[in-house]
Amino acid sequence: MSKIYLDNAASTPIRKEVIEIMSKSLHVVGNPSSIHNFGKEARSLIERARISIAHLIGAESSEIIFTSSGTEANNFILKSAILNLGIKYIISSPIEHLSVLETLKNLEKQYFVKIRWLKLKKKGEIDLEDLENSLIETSSSTLVSLMWANNEIGNILDIEKVGQLCEKYKSYFHCDAVQFIGHYPLNLRKTSIDFISASAHKFYGPLGIGFCFIKKPIKLNSILKGGTQEMGLRAGGENLSGIVGMAKALELSFKNLEKEKTYLEELKKYCISKLKKEVPIVEFNGNCLSFSKSLYTILSLKVPFKDELLGFKLELENIALSGGSACGSGSQKNSHVMENLYDLKMQSSSSFLRVSFGIFNKKEEIDQFILSLLRIISPNFGA
């Protein structure tokens, strides 16, 4: 039986056009920082990629800084905001990705900065009233850091409302857009976002390359010390093939966006209706039944009994997906997101699964997943 990959929120397969363009760029000889023609050729590929990405997301090319990952982009923005912008308060949520959560906890220990964790509503929505009250209390030198879309339950943030509040209270706004970019139309000019983080392997590009957007005229300094690459904002030799591949992947994501979005929405709808019919004991976490409040790429499930080996058992049936953990498939500990969504009793009597869809998935794979799930869990509820 062939393997079924339903873990696209962890990493998407790379498109063949992206591999092609990356393979060609691997033959480029020069260091982009060198002034001879070899260097210039490498430099021009990087700058063309920067212009293309900027154009696609409504930014200027000088606002795009390449990083090694979404994690690095988040670390860079949060740390530099404290060091360079005099940020004293950061308002965030307890269900951010670990690259934000752990960074913030660490920064609070290291620097003179206070983190304010927002309350969540029942389905994991950010409590915007609490956000406004927090902004009133922190009053100045504040950064709000909230993810555009949650990587576990798929909840989408009301960016417009959060942006309005940040403008009203003169706060900076950082948005981890890793799960959102490449899947929805985007024009950063029309938002009040000051910083975003993105990662190519979430939109059918290569792993190990990402970027951040830093709105002009905000000025940050590099946290890596060394050369003056990336306009002095990130020292270190550039990942040329990664950058070129990321730009191509984003171009193709936007080019095919409507078609692929429709396809994936259908796939998610199909999965929901089959689950409701064939495995009705399964429940859905967060807002993931809503197509306006949740990503069409993620479906987060709650099975009403504890089986720490559920993910592993599915793996034995050739189905790869994630448990209720951040990026680690097969993790046994409930993730911080589920810990924030459910009380202890519910957590210890439930198992969590994240199904995440990608453009290479087929309906037959959903059928196979549901058959396997039924086979594995039916002894537990006497079906």
Minimum distance between the CB of residue 256 and ligand PLP, rounded to whole angstroms?
21
Instruction: Name residues contacting ligand PLP, limited to 149-178 (CB under 6 A).
Output: 151, 176, 178
Residue 70 or 286: which CB sits closer to ligand PLP?
A: 70
352: which strand partners? 302
Residues in Cβ contact with 3 at an 8 Å cutoff, skipping those fewer than 6 apart: 318, 320
- Bridge-based pairing state of the strands 298-303 and 283-284: antiparallel
Q: Which of 149, 155, 145 is nearest to 195 (CA)?
A: 145
Q: Could you give the string, one character per residue 287-326, with x where binding to ligand PLP holds by CB under 6 A and - elsewhere?
A: ----------------------------------------
The region of 69-77, 83-91, 116-124, 250-258 touching ligand PLP under the rule CB under 6 A is 69-77
Closest approach of ligand PLP to the CB of residue 29, in Å: 28
Beta partners for residue 211, in sequence order: 66, 198
List of residues 6+ apart from 88 with CB closer than 8 A: 112, 113, 114, 138, 140, 141, 142
AA letter at 136: I
| By CB under 6 A, residue 182 contacts ligand PLP | no
| Cβ proximity to ligand PLP, 106 vs 273, nearer residue | 106
Residue number, nearest CB to ligand PLP? 70
Stretch that binds ligand PLP, among 38-46, 67-75, 131-139, 372-380 (CB under 6 A): 67-75
Residue with tokens 């900065």: 113
**Candidates 64-72, 248-256, 263-271, 367-375; binding stretch for ligand PLP (CB under 6 A):** 64-72
Measured at the CA of 75, the angle between CA 104 and CA 102, to 5 degrees, comes to: 35
- Residue 123 CB coordination number (10 Å): 17
φ, ψ of residue 60 in degrees (nearest 5): -95, 150
User: Which among 166, 175, 288, 327 is annotated as catalytic?
Assistant: 327
- Binding of residue 210 to ligand PLP (CB under 6 A): yes
Min dist. Cβ of residue 242 to ligand PLP (A)? 11
Sort 262 into a burial class: Cβ within 10 Å, 0-12 / 13-18 / 19+.
exposed
CB of 331 to ligand PLP, least distance (A): 13
Q: Does 70 contact ligand PLP by CB under 6 A?
A: yes
Q: Which of 43, 97, 183, 234 binds ligand PLP (CB under 6 A)?
A: 97
Angle (CA) 62-65-68 rounded to 5° is: 165
Is 147 a residue that touches ligand PLP (CB under 6 A)?
Answer: yes
Measured from the CB atom, the residue of 69 and 155 that comes closer to ligand PLP is 69
Q: Closest CB to ligand PLP among 131 and 147?
A: 147
Structural contact between residues 276 and 375, judged by C-beta atoms closer than 8 angstroms: no
> Cβ-count burial of 256 within 10 angstroms (0-12 exposed, 13-18 middle, 19+ buried)?
middle
212 noted as active-site residue = no
- 95 binding ligand PLP? (CB under 6 A): no
Which of residues 178 and 314 has its CB atom nearest to ligand PLP in the complex? 178
Q: Is 376 in the site for ligand PLP (CB under 6 A)?
A: no
What is the Cα Rg of the chain in Å?
Answer: 21
3-state secondary structure of 277: helix
| Cβ closest to ligand PLP, residue 149 vs residue 220 | 149
Region of 80 (left: φ > 0; alpha: ψ -120 to 50; beta: rest) is alpha
Candidate list 327, 329, 331, 371; residue touching ligand PLP; CB under 6 A = 327
Size of the site for ligand PLP (CB under 6 A): 13
Stretch that binds ligand PLP, among 40-48, 68-76, 123-131, 158-166 (CB under 6 A): 68-76
Question: What are the residues whose beta carbons fall under 8 Å from the beta carbon of 18, sequence distance 6 or more?
Answer: 204, 205, 206, 245, 248, 249, 252
Nearer to ligand PLP, 155 or 179 (CB): 179
Q: Which residues are catalytic?
A: 327
Residues that bind ligand PLP (CB under 6 A): 69-71, 97, 99, 147, 151, 176, 178-179, 199, 210, 327
